[in-house]
Amino acid sequence: MSIRTTNGHSHRFDSVLDTIGNTPTIRINRIAPAHVNVFVKTESANPGGSVKDRLALNIIEAAERDGRLRPGQTVVEATSGNTGIGLAMICAAKGYPLVITMADSFSIERRRLMRFFGAKVVLTPKALKGMGMYNKAKELAEANGWFLASQFETTDNADIHEHTTAREILADFQGQRLDYWVTGYGTGGTVSGVGRVLKQTRPETKIILAEPGNAGLIASGQTTPRNDQNQATESHPAFQPHPIQGWTPDFIPYVLQETLDHGYHDALLPVPGPDSIAWSKRLAAEEGIFTGISAGATFAAAMQIAETAPEGANILVMLPDTGERYLSTPLFEDIPEDMDDDEMAISLSTPSAQL
């Protein structure tokens, strides 16, 4: 094998914002069943480390274009973390103050990352679930005249996935089969935006949607009450706390409702929390792909599909973010800080250990 080289093009950009999107699709070589071809779209390659960079950018720039966001106006949003990190990066680059509301149950790394970008993070009690941080953001926007990003309601969310994520997928599989596309949901923007395109241009592709096994909001068949601004007004009765941060708030977002109303998904799979963690670890240890729990959950759903998929099927899996924002979560709880017995034995096996 010859040494790897690059083509010498540095791809200079005018702004960090220009580096969002065009994330790589990577083949899984060791942990997928041999009879299928599994690929992952690694959204951790976005500059803020997650798929939510896409919607955060479009929410801000669409609001700038139509005058909803004024120069210097404070932006406020409720988030489990990734949208907040994306907004913090974008607001820093564009010069907008940002206030994030977030339940105190989400990982400490997330709030620290947002503060590192210059955002203010207001924590709400975990007992109030997602509705608590959601209502706090609305209250702050109304009380202060701030711009509410409205990731759960705005069409700007799914629109960016229609115009970027979906187009990248089509390009990556041009002239080839794409039998299954697998994704989870948080706001629903990814599935609704990509679903619009795949159902029009690749109707043979089966769209697989996944949700936590113990928080089956869609599976319950129960709806979420909303006000005249399409904002959820009640916590969903089927919600239970789950470890898949970024997936499934305690209400069905209006952005996701498009998928449900138009039948964009062909199957819905429940994913147990432990499976999510197990597959995230395997992706890292056996494929060298570093992801978070939500990515592990999506991959777990894909592995369910792969078991019965036909010979030679192509399966594409969305991996929403990186693993570094899960260091204080169960994903890393059994990863030691100090040397284990094997590492100590290695250390003691050479003369310098005697010094």
pLDDT at 3: 77
- Torsion, CA 177, CA 183, CA 189, CA 194, rounded to 10: 0
Arithmetic mean of pLDDT over the chain: 95
Q: Report the catalytic residues.
A: 52, 294
Give the residues across from 122 on adjacent strands. 101
Give the residues across from 147 on adjacent strands. 75
Contact between residue 213 and residue 282 where contact means Cβ atoms under 8 Å apart? no
pLDDT at 279: 98
Give the residues across from 37 on adjacent strands. 314
Token pair for 204:
């043979």
* pLDDT interval class at 5 (50, 70, 90): low
Read off the pLDDT of each residue in 87-104 and give the average, rounded to a whole number.
Answer: 97
Per-position DSSP letters for 224-257, written without gaps between them? --B-TTS-B-S--TT----S-TTS--SS--HHHH
**pLDDT tens-digit map of 134-143:** 999 999 999 9
Task: Using alpha carbons, select from 294, 300, 299, 285 the residue that is nearest to residue 334.
Answer: 285
Q: Specify the higher pLDDT residue, 2 or 347.
A: 347
**Sheet of strand 147-148: strand arrangement:** 120-124, 98-103, 75-78, 147-148
The runs of H, that is alpha helices, within 73-165 are 82-94, 108-116, 129-144, 155-160
pLDDT at 6: 66
Per-residue buried b or exposed e for 120-152, using 16+ beta carbons within 10 Å of the residue's own CB: ebebbeeebbbbbbbbbbbebbeeeebbbbbbb
CATH 3.40.50.1100 corresponds to the domain 52-148:
yes
CATH domain 16-45+164-332 topology = Rossmann fold (3.40.50)
* pLDDT interval class at 10 (50, 70, 90): low
Domains 16-45+164-332 and 52-148 share a fold: yes
* pLDDT interval class at 355 (50, 70, 90): low
- Determine the Cα–Cα distance for residues 355 and 353; give it in Å rounded to an integer: 6
Tell me: pLDDT of 256 over 70: yes
Read off the pLDDT of each residue in 337-347 and give the average, rounded to a whole number.
Answer: 94
Contact between residue 289 and residue 40 where contact means Cβ atoms under 8 Å apart? yes
Tell me: pLDDT of 74 over 70: yes
3-state secondary structure of 132: helix
Q: What is the DSSP letter of 294?
A: H
Of the ranges 8-22, 201-215, 326-340, which one carries the lowest mean pLDDT score?
Answer: 8-22
**pLDDT tens-digit map of 17-57:** 999 999 999 999 999 999 999 999 999 999 999 999 999 99
* pLDDT interval class at 9 (50, 70, 90): low
- Determine the Cα–Cα distance for residues 38 and 166; give it in Å rounded to an integer: 18
Tell me: pLDDT of 172 over 90: yes
Tell me: pLDDT of 245 over 90: no
3-state secondary structure of 158: helix
The runs of H, that is alpha helices, within the chain are 52-66, 82-94, 108-116, 129-144, 155-160, 166-172, 189-201, 217-220, 254-262, 273-287, 293-308, 341-347
What share of the chain in percent tops pLDDT 90?
90
What share of the chain in percent tops pLDDT 70?
98
Q: Specify the higher pLDDT residue, 299 or 80.
A: 299
Q: Give domain limits for the chain.
A: 16-45+164-332, 52-148
* pLDDT interval class at 1 (50, 70, 90): confident
Per-position DSSP letters for 299-315, written without gaps between them? HHHHHHHHHHPPTT-EE
For residue 306, the one-letter residue type is: A
Cα 187–chain centre separation: 9
Q: Specify the higher pLDDT residue, 5 or 173.
A: 173
- Determine the Cα–Cα distance for residues 267 and 183; give it in Å rounded to an integer: 11
Tell me: pLDDT of 223 over 90: yes
